[in-house]
Structure 1
Amino acid sequence: MTQYANATTQKENGTVLGGKLIREGGLVAFPTETVYGLGANGLDGEAVRRIFEAKGRPGDNPLILHVAKKNYVKRLWAHVPESARVLMDTFWPGPLTIVFNKSSLVPDEVTAGLPTVAIRMPDHKTALALIREAGVPIAAPSANTSGRPSPTSAQHVREDMDGKIDLIIDGGPCRYGLESTVLTLAGEPTILRPGAVTREMLEAAWGAIRLAPSILAPMKAGETAASPGMKYRHYAPECEVLVARGDPRAASGKICRAYDRRVLSGENAVIFATTQTQPFYRDRRCVIIGDRAEPATLCANLFARLREYSDAADVVFAEALPEEGMGLAYMNRLLRAAGFRTID
């Protein structure tokens, strides 16, 4: 039976119990500033395997270790490169995950057998309290059934994980609403998954940063996933998702034509609009998910809206954003939710 703790006002509520469960090999869902995580003892391979079982997650998809102190990375990486020190000092605690060569302390179950491990320090009081109470780094992917939209509220976690895990700690809605940026420093610095810490922010702190080709395209056959969120279809609702590229007026025109065809054929369609484009859709069924001038607002709402309309629509139409700043993170999640299907 899954237990529940309310940490929406008392931020450390449930963390003592959660820490005990983690030490004993249990699974605890907890809030972060990005999305809810499903945590286990990151130094216990058997406990980590329970995460994969609960989520139905493929075993070749690596996890992230969450720490409460920066200096703990010395135990988890083979050594700490200067670039990592600079970036940790600049962005930790916060939504940046750093990948580097792992130490022998890290189980292969965490890294999917890779020689590197991903680590981050969350910027959330409840998450940090839980890690401190556990006394170990917490391995945690998002707390959802594998492939579905990531959970940004405790209710989302309950929908997917009730009865499968030991504890859900409710910390209210997540601040950013999408997962952390993942940056590998094992080789040329490269963003593997974009997030709230943008390429522009990273380059201002350190220097030139590459983008992995798989950010906006499927991975090639046989390519190894060095980060969560790279290899498989992710963030997908039950309904179909289609993305329209182009400037706002051109994209909305494509959506209107496709929407009308689908509705005439008897399908239940909905449009994810922005404050700027909502007037273009007139009397068509649409929901405003944010402001194009502030991509963070779309990021914060995307997963929740995909869950809301998963069973309430046959098809969701969404507009593309410019692939820069947080628009890059939005497009990474949206295209994967759509299985890279676009409207021509």
Structure 2
Amino acid sequence: MNTRRFGPDDVVPAAEIIRRGGLLGIPTETVYGLGANGLDPEAVANIFAAKGRPQDNPLILHIPSSAWLERYCRNIPDAAYALADRFWPGPLTMILERGDMVPDVVTAGLDTVGMRCPAHPVCRAILTAADLPVAAPSGNTSGRPSPTTAQHMLEDMDGKIDGIVDGGPCTVGVESTIIDLTVMPPRLLRPGGVTLEELRETLGEVAVDQAVRRLMGEGEHPRAPGMKYRHYAPKAPVTVVRGDPARGADYIRTHLEEGDGVVCFDEFAGQYPGHVVERLGPARDKAAQARHVFDALRAFDDTDVSAIWAQCPDDAGIGLAVANRLSKAAGFHIINVDEMGR
């Protein structure tokens, strides 16, 4: 298959790929997505095939406005519209009761569906031109770090999909926040660009699913993307180091072996001579860390490092999303230097 490259002004021919049942790489503010007509079971099945994605991992439907919710969902709570008023368009996915027209392949057979209204202007233009809900997971081979540029996505999907639209680098850098509104209290299933603190400002009590901080078991069924399987992982094994940044940097330096690589806060990048180092961003700038985390992990696949040590922010704000992505990349192999010597 010849994968066509589109620029940000090529909205009409790009949308036509969606309308005729093809696969399209689309830019969003979070990561690049692999999109298809969310009402066409065959087109959606092709997403799973292109990614090598497990069939029990549900997808998200992307729509251009909250006015579309009633087309594909039922029993929509007031909380959904409160969240949409504040955060849509933006990096927030809401789990709602699915309508009859949503195919089983989108929801992995669940009675719920994830709905999102992305903020990227090119993505919104494509959704409007296609006049269809677009099912779209991240546009990477399943398990690899998510793509935040069109080139990243082409590394995984060139020749497997019909086209990709280059909308520039993603501004958030981690996937959307997912909140389940079919339970009380609402439950955070995946942290992202909308923070837990912001959700609680709008909704009051919000629970945090255990899968945010641990691996799901084989018998557990994910209610949203990114919950169950090892994700975001480079080829080399990752160890996450949490706690005080200076102590964490010291721990990494004293445990590094020849051939190891390091993901670290900018302030400590000069402490590992002779090793491949990728900068995560300043220790206090979690938004920068969110933008850089997948780029840093993906960069190691172009090296021969044998293992990767990664510094990690605390859970406040978007730090929870960065910590979640790093922890899943590491299979939750985590060392907390603040707990040593207690």
1:327 match: 319
2:225 match: 228
Where 2:263 maps in the other structure, the secondary structure is strand
Matched letter for residue 246 of structure 2:
R
1:275 match: 266
Where 2:254 maps in the other structure, the secondary structure is helix
Where 2:122 maps in the other structure, the secondary structure is helix
**For residues 197-216 of structure 1, what are the structure 2 equivalents within 5 Å?**
197-216=194-213
Matched letter for residue 226 of structure 1:
R
Question: Could you give the per-residue CA deviations for residues 296-328 of structure 1, whole angstroms, max 9, x where no partner exists?
Answer: 111100111111112412222111221121110
The answer to whether residue 120 in structure 2 is matched with residue 124 in structure 1 is yes
The answer to whether residue 246 in structure 2 is matched with residue 249 in structure 1 is yes
Contact residue 91 and residue 118 of structure 2 kept, 8 A: yes
Within 2, Cα distance between the matches of 1:51 and 1:272?
Answer: 31
Within 2, Cα distance between the matches of 1:215 and 1:271?
Answer: 24
Q: Which runs of 5+ in 1 are unaligned?
A: 8-12
1:293 match: 284
Within 2, Cα distance between the matches of 1:285 and 1:174?
Answer: 24
Contact residue 62 and residue 115 of structure 2 kept, 8 A: yes
1:159 match: 155
1:10 match: none
Within 1, Cα distance between the matches of 2:332 and 2:153?
Answer: 26
Match of 2:328 among 307, 311, 336: 336
Report the CA distance between 1:14 and its aligned residue: 2.2
Report the CA distance between 1:220 and its aligned residue: 2.4
Question: Could you give the per-residue CA deviations for residues 199-230 of structure 1, whole angstroms, max 9, x where no partner exists?
Answer: 10011112111111110110123111001000
Question: Could you give the per-residue CA deviations for residues 258-284 of structure 1, whole angstroms, max 9, x where no partner exists?
Answer: 21xx21xxxx22211213334554675
Contact residue 280 and residue 293 of structure 2 kept, 8 A: yes
Question: Could you give the per-residue CA deviations for residues 143-197 of structure 1, whole angstroms, max 9, x where no partner exists?
Answer: 1100000000000111100111001101110001110000000112011000010
Matched letter for residue 216 of structure 1:
R
Where 1:133 maps in the other structure, the secondary structure is helix
Matched letter for residue 236 of structure 1:
A
Q: Which runs of 5+ in 2 are unaligned?
A: 337-342
The answer to whether residue 297 in structure 2 is matched with residue 306 in structure 1 is yes
**For residues 33-182 of structure 1, what are the structure 2 equivalents within 5 Å?**
33-182=29-178
Matched letter for residue 19 of structure 1:
A
Report the CA distance between 1:79 and its aligned residue: 2.5
2:20 match: 24
Question: Could you give the per-residue CA deviations for residues 236-265 of structure 1, whole angstroms, max 9, x where no partner exists?
Answer: 111121111221222112211221xx21xx
Where 1:171 maps in the other structure, the secondary structure is coil
| Aligned residues with identical type, % of pairs | 45
Misfit runs of 4+, over 2 Å: 275-288
2:339 match: none
Within 2, Cα distance between the matches of 1:232 and 1:83?
Answer: 29
Match of 1:240 among 237, 248, 267: 237
1:317 match: 309
Contact residue 254 and residue 343 of structure 1 kept, 8 A: no
- Tell me the C-alpha RMSD between the 2 structures: 1.4
Contact residue 260 and residue 275 of structure 2 kept, 8 A: no
Q: Which moved more, 1:143-152 or 1:237-246?
A: 237-246
Where 2:266 maps in the other structure, the secondary structure is coil
